[in-house]
Structure 1
Amino acid sequence: MTSVLSPFGPVEADLERLRQNLTRLVSAKHPILAMAAEHLFSVGGKGIRPAIVLLIARATTPDGEITPQHWRLAEITEMIHTASLMHDDVIDASTVRRGVSTVNTLFDNRVAVLAGDYLFGQAAWYLANLDNLEVVKLLSKVIMDLPEGEVRQSLTRFDPDVSLEEYLAKSFYKTASLISGSAKAAGLLSGVSPEVADRLFDFGCNLGIAFQIVDDLLDFTGSAETLGKPVGSDLIQGNLTAPVLFALEEFPQMRELILRELAEPQDLQQVLEWVYQSEGIPRSRQLARDYAQRAAEALQVLPDSEARQALLQMVDYVLERPC
């Protein structure tokens, strides 16, 4: 893989234009729902998902052109992602995201759910108007996968018997499905061959799983200030991620504490100590690297270009991102 440089350089101005377009699109309807959506756009992250769409567009069109359909796909992708965040915050009763108040805190749960539904509805409308049946099928499957991931996570809360395979499947539904579906869709809008489209899906799938593993690692290795939430938040909610699953192999006595849902005052601190003493964190890092390597290999199908180089740098960015 490459050295860690900014993968956003070739589309930095494009992403700013996209944020402005999104604000304009959501502001055209109900003011309260628009305010809720705009709040999350304004505190959004780097824009990894739309950046991937725009970079693939530049890497797969003859003149590196971002077509109107690619623009709309990038907007749809960010709408779907933002809607899912709104719903996640309600489900998790989160009060802070990226260091600022969540929509459900600023307004209430009902507004947050309706604002998420509003964005999903807008995304579906704009998706249908792309007039590309294969892309519609891809992104419709993504919208189905997101709640599937949440249901799987809810059904395995505080379950020490959840397998690594189940964890990875949940990670696909929650995170990798959107990245892989939008990556393949971007290629299809460029008219790439089925073989190249499938490799773009593989890129997004592997990158998305690596992203989720790193995100789960940061729950143990990041600071509360950096994360904008308490360290161990996933564990507190009963979400057993890769570091915990690996640590359970070395410290089976964790089972009892997890099964009683960390009910005793010292349970959380004890489980955290076992995770830190185990090989759970290094093994999770290696697992993320393995998936990232597969993502980088999938990009070999693309011709050399500045955009492809940026996509390779995105792989490293996902592995090294601070939060």
Structure 2
Amino acid sequence: MWAALLRRGGRGAGGLRGLASGGPSWSQVVSEAEKIVGYPTSFMSLRCLLSDELSNIAMQVRKLVGTKHPLLDTARGFVYDSRNNLQMRGLVILLVSKAAGPSTAELSFQHNMVSGIYSSQRSLAEITELIHTAFLVHRGIVNIGELKSCDGPLKDMQFGNKMAVLSGDFLLANACTSLAQLQNTKVVELISSAIGDLVQGIYYENSKSSEENCLTDDISISRWKEQVFLSHSALLAKSCQAAMELAKHSAEIQDVAFQYGKHMSMSHKLHSDLQPFVKESSSDTMAFSLNSAPAVLHQEFLGREAWIKQIREAQGKGNIMDYKKLREAIKAGKGVTSAIDLCRCHGNRALAALERFPPSEARAALANIVCAMTRFS
């Protein structure tokens, strides 16, 4: 049923709205979902971000204005993120919690629920957002040895690195403290393992190929999916599972929540990777990752040697990449269409997991989120 809706749009159980061309935008989908869970999750981690300690750090970060330190872009994203992607994980956890409802073992504690969600599940959503935010801040550390004079004074860039480490550690420490206050050993174990997955995934992303001056990894799409699960999907998947554990749901329902979180976030990553190739307003010169899904699939179809040859042909004088030329080469192959198919495949698997939940507004909102990420013009 869900797969058919994904292809053609329409209205499903629990008020699912069609998301074919002309359907609601991503911001509309998020706005409607926030009404269902009871409050705007766009400000979920604001309580921590406005703490005295972090406010002092924010004052110090202002010294980076005028440089190209990535910590500035991360900070701007917290305020100007028009697509609400930074807070998407918390919203999904709350929707999954409401869609599953209370377990039979917890029916006597329904008075502890607000808008169909336990306070512990709301705390878990905030914890997940803090962990995600902490790792975003940590990713703002730059390699001093690769800096150019136009990036900013060396002392400012070194200072920015210190701020990225300190502020990221502060957020992570707050998340761990709140996690311990949930007083659930299995939940602590799940989220701790997700943090370990994040570290491992980011290590893989940042590790360099042994080939000198190589701009792209020699990996298959299966290896790409393994790495993306660690760095992008594990936190949400395990947090959805942990939300079910907090409500005392069975292992079967916990696995359903895990599967939805995993495949929805995989679909989200693929959708993000595809934007430079499918977005009408994207600039021809806009850079994109040569390890993104369309590029990896393109390499798999084309062969490693031919792909490296295309990259070198796109590099002009001074090793300046002609992204327009490289984008056209990828679009001419099967990489983009295969990435779209893979995005929809993960979307269908996320929708299939939802069928285990009873029809409700929350389930429909979760389906709308998936459909919004698998719709391409």
Query: Normalized against structure 1, the TM-score is what?
Result: 0.82
Q: CA deviation at 1:88?
A: 2.2
C-alpha distance in structure 1 between counterparts of 2:168 and 2:80, whole Å: 16
Task: Report the AA paired with residue 28 of structure 1.
Answer: S
Query: Normalized against structure 2, the TM-score is what?
Result: 0.71
User: What residue is the counterpart of 2:198 in the other structure?
Assistant: 146
**Matching of residues 193-272 of structure 1 within 5 Å:** 193-222=250-279, 231-235=286-290, 240-248=291-299, 249-250=301-302, 252-256=305-309, 258=311, 262=315, 264-265=319-320, 268-272=323-327
User: What residue is the counterpart of 1:12 in the other structure?
Assistant: 35
Alignment CA distance shift 1:108-1:13 (3 Å): farther
Aligned residue among 130, 141, 145 for 1:90: 141
Alignment CA distance shift 1:111-1:160 (3 Å): closer
C-alpha distance in structure 2 between counterparts of 1:312 and 1:296, whole Å: 6
Q: CA deviation at 1:185?
A: 1.3
Aligned residue among 225, 228, 252 for 1:168: 225
Aligned residue among 50, 54, 58 for 2:90: 50
Larger radius of gyration: 2
C-alpha distance in structure 2 between counterparts of 1:293 and 1:91, whole Å: 38
Q: CA deviation at 1:183?
A: 1.1
Q: Deviations over 1:274-304 (max 9, x none)?
A: 1121111111000110011001101111111
Q: Deviations over 1:230-277 (max 9, x none)?
A: 723323xxxx12211222223752223558995634554443221121
What SS does structure 1 have at the residue aligned with 2:139? Answer: helix
Question: Is structure 2 residue 120 aligned with structure 1 residue 69?
Answer: yes
Aligned residue among 337, 342, 354 for 1:287: 342
Aligned-residue identity in percent: 26
Q: CA deviation at 1:29?
A: 3.6
What SS does structure 1 have at the residue aligned with 2:219? Answer: coil
Give yes or no for contact 2:286–2:323 (8 Å, CA) kept in 1. Answer: no
User: What residue is the counterpart of 2:177 in the other structure?
Assistant: 125
Alignment CA distance shift 1:33-1:67 (3 Å): farther
Task: Report the AA paired with residue 256 of structure 1.
Answer: K
Question: Is structure 2 residue 188 aligned with structure 1 residue 136?
Answer: yes
Question: Is structure 2 residue 338 aligned with structure 1 residue 315?
Answer: no
Q: CA deviation at 1:61?
A: 2.3
Gaps of 5+ in 1: 94-103
Q: Deviations over 1:59-114 (max 9, x none)?
A: 12247522211111111111111112212233589xxxxxxxxxx98x82321222
> Between Structure 1 and Structure 2, how many residues are aligned?
305
User: What residue is the counterpart of 2:9 in the other structure?
Assistant: none
User: What residue is the counterpart of 1:32 in the other structure?
Assistant: 56
C-alpha distance in structure 1 between counterparts of 2:340 and 2:120, whole Å: 36
What SS does structure 1 have at the residue aligned with 2:319? Answer: coil
What SS does structure 2 have at the residue aligned with 1:191? Answer: coil
Aligned residue among 241, 246, 250 for 1:184: 241
Give yes or no for contact 1:15–1:51 (8 Å, CA) kept in 2. Answer: no
Gaps of 5+ in 2: 6-17, 62-73, 103-109, 145-155, 210-214
Task: Report the AA paired with residue 49 of structure 1.
Answer: R
C-alpha distance in structure 1 between counterparts of 2:97 and 2:344, whole Å: 26
C-alpha distance in structure 2 between counterparts of 1:159 and 1:148, whole Å: 19
Alignment CA distance shift 1:21-1:301 (3 Å): closer
